[in-house]
Amino acid sequence: MPKLKLKEKNALYQYGNYCRYYGYRNPDNEDNRLKVLAELTDLFYGKDVLDIGCNIGHVTFSVARDFGAKSVVGMDIDRKLINIARKNVQYYINDTAQSSSPLASKKNFDFRNCNDPNLTNCDNVTELLPTEYRPIKSVSNTFHEQFPFNVSFVQGNYVLESDLLLSLETCKFDVILCLSITKWLHLNWGDDGLKRAFKRMFAQLRPGGILVVEPQPWKSYGRRKTLTEIISQNYKNILLKPPMFTDYLLNEVGFANCETLSMPHNPSKGFQRPLKLYRKPDILATSKD
């Protein structure tokens, strides 16, 4: 019986859907991955962006607010995390509508998901929130004039049930963020599922579009291989290891090139991972006919 309880508890976070993820990843409430991406000044400006595995939307919000993106969609499989992200959107909307009285908007916003019943009565509520629920610090001095109306969140599984469904995808994004989720796609859906996800990203990108990947190293997979029976089985059968991703994305999926950015600093060595940018070919530029 105790074994079953342990499995049930583990299954709650089988997708890496930790509700306090940003709290322990960014203890100082700063995400250094964004500082690295900020060096690419035109990466997000005026673009349509998809953030896969967005959790409660820290990165999603920052791209929409600080980087001048035309639109940003955050997607996560966990409905609870998406609900928190949507409530944060409402917070920003309230704050915009009542800018002359910002404290009023903070009081009206429902922070019950933060597990502290006293927070809703606090004037300076964002300062008292646990770090993982606070808006992330800005990496820019200017806010996008359309924010928060340029950000939205959807709940769903990014891995399609069949390769046949890939033919229904259309090019709708200029940039897709795939940050620290390849391991979870891999463990839950195996090689086939991750390959299908990579192909879907390619299909959803417009010509010349950019895929930003932050892959977890293979050694980190082992620490999560017993979360569920399915994960344990998939782990044993994985052949496409993370060092092979670039070769697969370039030679099998069809991306034109790969650029590795400087590794963002993080207090925890486990979160010091390189960011890789894959560019989809520009059809007009490569066409011979």
How is 105-157 classified by DSSP, letter by letter?
A: HHHHS--GGGS-TTGGG-TTHHHHS-GGGSPPPPSSS---TTTTTTEEEEE--
The pLDDT, as a whole number, for residue 94 is 81
Both tokens of residue 289?
């006919």
Task: Give the pTM.
Answer: 0.78
pLDDT of residue 40 exceeding 50, the answer is: yes
Sheet holding 276-279, edge to edge: 151-155, 71-76, 48-52, 173-179, 205-214, 276-279, 257-260
The pLDDT, as a whole number, for residue 95 is 73
Residue 90: which H helix or E strand, with range?
helix 79-97
Task: Give the best-scoring range by mean pLDDT among 37-46, 198-207, 275-284.
Answer: 198-207
C-alpha span between 200 and 159 (Å, rounded): 8
Model confidence band, residue 97 (pLDDT cutoffs 50, 70, 90): low
Mean pLDDT to the nearest integer, 108-134? 36
Say if residues 60 and 187 touch (Cβ distance below 8 Å): no
The pLDDT, as a whole number, for residue 269 is 59
Among 75-79, 82-86, 268-272, whose mean pLDDT is lowest? 268-272
Q: Which residues contact 33 (CB under 8 A, 6 or more apart)?
A: 59, 179, 214, 264, 275
